Chains A and B, each alone.
Chain A
Amino acid sequence: MLQITNLHASIDDTPILRGIDLTINDGEVHSLMGPNGSGKSTLAKVMAGDEAYEVTEGSIVLNGQDLLELDPHERAAAGLFMAFQYPVEIPGVTMKYFMRTAMNSVRKNRGQEELDAYEYLSVVKERAATVKLDLELLDRPVNGGFSGGEKKRAEIFQMAMLEPSACVLDETDSGLDIDALRIVAEGVNTMRSPDRSFLVITHYQRLLSYIVPDVVHVLVDGKIARTGGKELALELEEHGYSLIEKGNAVDA
């Protein structure tokens, strides 16, 4: 279970998150929507431990562990995964090597045995097939020369490899055409399981046609202004965020 309580965070003394409360039970998919500048991506980065942000109040607890007390790489080992909106390139480091390093770091941190080369490659093949990732991409440098769709698919592949218990997708749909969107969504859907929770951050409703959420939250000015079922996303699609911004916030 992922539980965020009264979370406040700021950047350069400017408050961005102003008291977020959010609980995602195991197996649930929550969607976080909201207008530009409402703090959606900030929440994802704060959860992952980006040092540019300062948490001034509140807590983030994953499966009983306070993430705010952990360094970013320890949070990953604790089961948190974030799919980046803009995955960075790492020249000279192949995706295969990168993932092996990541996987073994996480396993070591979790007290599991490291995988040998043979075991690792068999996991790679299986998971790449799950998310329909071309194996050839894995021999290229991390995100190096990847198309927008390939980058996002590679993010989902990494998610599948690391077997997190909580996944945050930060605007994974941005810059994707409809085919790429569908493939990425399929990958996420195959990973849905009773012991894994998802927070899908998106500006648009269209992704939610493919990844159907259990709960939809709307973030406005660093606070959750409204929470509802999947039909809330459709309502927003129709009326826009202005409906909520005008002060019609109702707690579901």
Chain B
Amino acid sequence: MTTDPNATLDQWAEGSDYRWGFVTDIDADTVPPGLDESVIRFISAKKNEPEWLLEWRLKAYERWLKMEEPEWPHFPDRPYGPIDYQAISYYSAPKSDEDRPKSLDEVDPKLLETYEKLGIPLEERAALAGVAVDAVFDSVSVATTFRDKLKEHGVIFCSFSEAVQDHPELVKKYLGTVVPAADNYFAALNSAVFTDGSFVYIPKGVRCPMELSTYFRINALNTGQFERTLIVADEGAYVSYLEGCTAPQRDENQLHAAVVELIAMEDAEIKYSTIQNWYPGDENGVGGIYNFVTKRGLCEGDRSHISWTQVETGSAMTWKYPSCILKGDDSIGEFYSVALTNHRQQADTGTKMVHIGKNTRSNIVSKGISAGYGHNTYRGLVNIRRGAVNARNYTQCDSMLMGETCGAHTFPVIEVGNDTAHIEHEASTSKIGEDQIFYCNQRGISPEDAVSMIVNGFCREVLAELPMEFAVEARKLLEVSLEDSVG
């Protein structure tokens, strides 16, 4: 393992860069667009990574080269791809202050209006809008306070890059154990070129003393388009983690391919909540993020418990299936999802519950809301392996349509290899009726409030799974996202 940056650099400089005909000043902040082995070596060197990690990246890259980009279903209302992977720049340092807006006055007023509606605290608005002001520095001190408190409990919570430097043994032990480097096209790409992300380790028997959220919310900025998250809860540990933010985040990168791995040991519990509100493109489907994420949790130990909750309102196109591998006996996997598509957005999301251990249980609640020309797809797998005695699954999959031009699609797959399994699947499709809205209006409730009330009623079971303060934000977010869909 090489920890000396110069050694890695030298090796890189002497070795392959010549062969690949690629010479870049290591002090550069950005590499030119394009992807080849030398770019991966550059990223790894820039991050001062140990040799094994570079090897791991390169292996992933090799596999990626041989893989085919999935031709995933999409609907004709929005043109998709092809993505030119050679047109992407795979490393760029965070924007320097000179490139940022100097104050909120320079920020798109429409964006600020949305922050206002969402009730984002003033000091955070600047940070979210990318303004280079003191507010951002304030947040650093807040973060430090949090970190000290976490340290007291032995909790490790840091950026992925820091973890590689400070806890290489943990990273090496767990990285890629849940989502192998070549799991799928986008996971392989991420494994080859990821630039940063988060790392969490909760030691045995520790209940993480706070939601890992506020800190993250501010510091998640600029983590780049290939994000890597690894969370390990050791025996009997508990952690609740929130990713994302209700505020719409601008990003010039069109492709986002993150990987999240969760590992829960015996009696451990991980609650992972996401609010995703990346730029969805404009009303006509121009622009917007492609959000192709691989999220998977491993219930390694007996009685372990992993719960995914997501509120997906952003991105032009979302492909995302947070899953659970229920390996430990009596382990529990849960998936609660609200996906909202408006205008030309398309969301294809769901989960995979793989039952391996005995008496494993899984619970799936998926709520899809389609408005405008949006399409919402639920795609799920419940897989009961042969040894999974007494496995139980309950799936509820509801779709709500607003208007005549949107669509809802469901593709549930159930594979049962053990006949003691008990599986329930319920599905419904409903429409927000004009008669419902009129009824609310007659009672004095405005059309906007009526829609948000009906939608929130529809999503209630999922929102109830979110930490309190985020449930409130999520509710507002749903309102704002649907604002112009009421005729």
Contacts and interface: CB of A to CB of B under 8 A. Distances in A.
A84 B442 CA distance: 10
A194 to B, nearest CB: 23
Contacts of A49: 441-442
Contacts of B438: 48, 50-51, 72
A72 B442 contact: yes
Interface string B444-468: 1111010001101111100000000
A251 B287 CA distance: 67
Interface in B429-487: 430, 433-436, 438-447, 449, 453-454, 456-460
Contacts of A180: none
A73 to B, nearest CB: 4
Given A98-B453, A141-B457, A73 B439 contact: no
A247 B435 CA distance: 37
Interface in A66-115: 71-73, 75-77, 81-82, 84, 87-88, 90-93, 97-99, 101-103, 105-106, 109
A98 B443 CA distance: 9
B441 A93 contact: no
B442 A48 contact: yes
A158 interface: yes
B433 A88 contact: yes
A76 B439 contact: no
A88 B435 contact: yes
A91 B432 CA distance: 10
A84 B439 contact: yes
A109 B445 CA distance: 10
A71 B441 contact: yes
A207 interface: no
Interface residues of A, number: 31
Nearest to B455: A92
A87 B441 contact: no
A162 interface: yes
A109 B442 contact: no
Given A91-B458, A93-B453, A106 B441 contact: no
B439 A88 contact: yes
B102 to A, nearest CB: 39
Contacts of B434: 51
A73 B460 contact: no
A88 B442 contact: no
A90 B430 CA distance: 11
Given A90-B436, A101-B449, A106 B444 contact: yes
Given A84-B439, A88-B439, A105-B449, A93 B444 contact: no
A82 B443 CA distance: 8
Given A73-B440, A88-B439, A102-B445, 17 more contacts: A50-B438, A71-B446, A71-B447, A72-B438, A72-B441, A73-B445, A76-B444, A81-B442, A84-B442, A87-B439, A90-B440, A92-B458, A92-B460, A98-B443, A101-B445, A101-B449, A106-B443
20 contacts: A49-B442, A75-B442, A76-B443, A77-B444, A88-B433, A88-B439, A90-B439, A90-B454, A90-B457, A91-B457, A92-B454, A92-B460, A93-B456, A99-B443, A101-B445, A101-B449, A105-B446, A109-B444, A158-B443, A162-B444
